Amino acid sequence: MAPPDDRARRDAAFATLMATVAACRRCPAMEGRRRVLTTANGDIDAPIMFIAEAPGRGGAERTGVPFSGDFSGRTFERLLGEGGWTRDDVFITNAALCNPQGPTGANRAPSRQELTNCSGHLRATLAIVDPPVVVTLGAVALAAVGRIEPHGLKLTEARGQSFAWYGRTLVPLFHPSPKVLAWFPYVRMVEDFRTLRAVMDGAIIPDGKEVVQKE
């Protein structure tokens, strides 16, 4: 828990960041979209931050709460429980803070420029929350944190392992979306979240780019 004066400073910094994000107009395609960065993202004292790709049309774009209101959100909450967490224990954000939609209104991946436009917001969020552990959910999120501090990681090779990154521990995981679950079983996601719990509990510590098991 941060000292009261430090917490007040960080609360003020987060309030300023939320206002900056709400006023952001860097991406023309995002006009009319909800900017999903508020106190509903989690406690800024959380020791772990989850970073996903972008708000979903049926989820956070509708609810204003990351990973809520859709299949991916429900799956994520179940996985949090498997690791022994609730939403109150974590901070959740996205590489792109608005919902990217294609011509038909369906979700699409954020463009490179949209991710670049949001990278300053992500960097500022990391600085304010300052979590010891950062978990990326999906390849887009993993690439996005690499814009802040290069890591050279590929998701398929790094999934479920812990790495020293940017003065903290980085754990890349797959995104809990229906598309991923079509080929990566839920039971293996559960295993990953239980491994993540071990990382948080200190049973596994990062040493450069090697995973070191404590005796």
Tell me, yes or no, whether 176 lies in a domain: yes
Q: Indicate whether 94 belongs to any domain.
A: yes
- Is residue 211, in this structure, part of any structural domain at all? no
**36-73 residue pLDDT tens:** 999 999 999 999 999 999 999 999 999 999 999 999 99
| pLDDT given at position 215 | 35
Average pLDDT of the chain is 93
In a domain, 213, yes or no: no
Residue range 83-112: mean pLDDT, rounded: 96
* C-alpha–C-alpha distance, residues 176 and 19, integer Å: 29
Mean pLDDT lowest among 84-93, 136-145, 178-187, 202-211: 202-211
Burial of 162 (0-12, 13-18, 19+ CB in 10 A): buried
Number of domains the chain is built from: 1
Share of the chain above pLDDT 70, in %: 95
Region of 154 please: left (phi>0), alpha (psi -120 to 50) or beta: beta
Element (H, E) at 205: strand 204-207
**Integer Cα distance of 127 and 79 in angstroms:** 26
pLDDT band for 202, please (50, 70, 90 cuts): confident
List the CATH number of the domain containing 199.
Answer: 3.40.470.10
In a domain, 20, yes or no: yes
pLDDT tens digits along 141-168: 999 999 999 999 999 999 999 999 999 9
Specify whether the CB–CB gap between 114 and 29 falls below 8 A: yes
pTM greater than 0.85 (yes/no) = yes
Task: Tell me the average pLDDT across 107-130.
Answer: 97
**Range of the structural domain that residue 98 is part of:** 4-206
157: in domain: yes
212 assigned to some structural domain: no
Through-space distance between the first and last CA atoms of the chain, rounded to whole angstroms: 28
Q: How far is CA 23 from CA 17, 27, 76, 91, in A?
A: 10, 11, 29, 22
- Domain annotation covers residue 215: no
